[in-house]
Amino acid sequence: MFNLTTADLNKKIVSFADGPASFNAEAKTAGYDVTSLDIVYQFSTAEIKGRINETKEIVLEQTRRNAENYNWHEIKDITELESIRMGAMETFLQDYDQGKREKRYLIHEFPYQTPFAENHFDLGLCSHFLFLYPGLGCSFHLETLEEMIRICQEVRVSPLVDLDGTRPEFFQRLMEELGERYTVAVCQTDYAFLKSENSYLSIMKAE
Ligand SMILES: C[S@@+](CC[C@H](N)C(=O)[O-])C[C@H]1O[C@@H](n2cnc3c(N)ncnc32)[C@H](O)[C@@H]1O
- Residue 199 sits in a domain whose CATH number is 3.40.50.150
Which residue range forms the structural domain that includes residue 29? 6-204
Gyration radius of the chain's alpha carbons? 17
Residue 129 Cα to ligand 1 middle (Å): 5
Does 18 fall in a domain? yes
Residue 188's pLDDT is what?
95
pLDDT digit string (tens) for the chain, length 207 residues = 999 999 999 999 999 999 999 999 999 999 999 999 999 999 999 999 999 999 999 989 988 998 998 999 989 999 999 999 999 999 999 999 999 999 999 999 999 999 999 999 999 999 999 999 889 999 999 999 999 999 999 999 999 998 888 899 999 999 999 999 999 999 999 888 888 889 999 999 987
d(CA 29, CA 104): 13
Beta carbon of 110 within 6 Å of any ligand 1 atom: yes
Beta carbon of 124 within 6 Å of any ligand 1 atom: no
Q: Are strands 12-16 and 33-38 parallel, antiparallel or unpaired?
A: parallel
Answer yes or no: are the C-beta atoms of 38 and 18 closer than 8 Å: yes
Residue 133's pLDDT is what?
87
Instruction: Pick the residue whose CA is nearest to atom 10 on ligand 1.
Output: 129
The count of other CB atoms within 10 Å of the CB of residue 150 is 17
Task: Tell which residue, 52, 51, 41, has the closest CA to residue 17.
Answer: 41
Q: Are strands 12-16 and 121-127 parallel, antiparallel or unpaired?
A: parallel
Instruction: Pick the residue whose CA is nearest to atom 27 on ligand 1.
Output: 19
Instruction: Pick the residue whose CA is nearest to atom 25 on ligand 1.
Output: 40
Respond yes or no on whether the N-terminal peptide bond of residue 159 is cis (omega within 30° of 0).
yes
The pLDDT tens digits of the residues spanning 134-154 come to 899 999 999 999 999 999 999
First vs last Cα of the chain: how many Å apart?
24
Residue 90's pLDDT is what?
97
Answer yes or no: are the C-beta atoms of 149 and 155 closer than 8 Å: yes
Respond yes or no on whether the N-terminal peptide bond of residue 111 is cis (omega within 30° of 0).
yes
Beta carbon of 106 within 6 Å of any ligand 1 atom: no
Find the helix packing angle between 78-101 and 45-65, rounded to 10°.
Answer: 160
The β-bridge partners of 187 are 200
The pLDDT tens digits of the residues spanning 167-206 come to 999 999 999 999 999 999 999 998 888 888 899 999 999 8
Residue 191's pLDDT is what?
87
DSSP-based three-state secondary structure for 87? helix
Does 1 fall in a domain? no
d(CA 147, CA 108): 12
d(CA 190, CA 129): 20
Testing ligand 1's pocket by substitution, the residue of 129, 142, 148 carrying the most ligand atoms inside 8 A of its CB is 129
Q: How many domains does the chain have?
A: 1
Testing ligand 1's pocket by substitution, the residue of 15, 39, 41 carrying the most ligand atoms inside 8 A of its CB is 39
Beta carbon of 109 within 6 Å of any ligand 1 atom: yes
Residue 14's pLDDT is what?
98
The DSSP letter of residue 161 is S
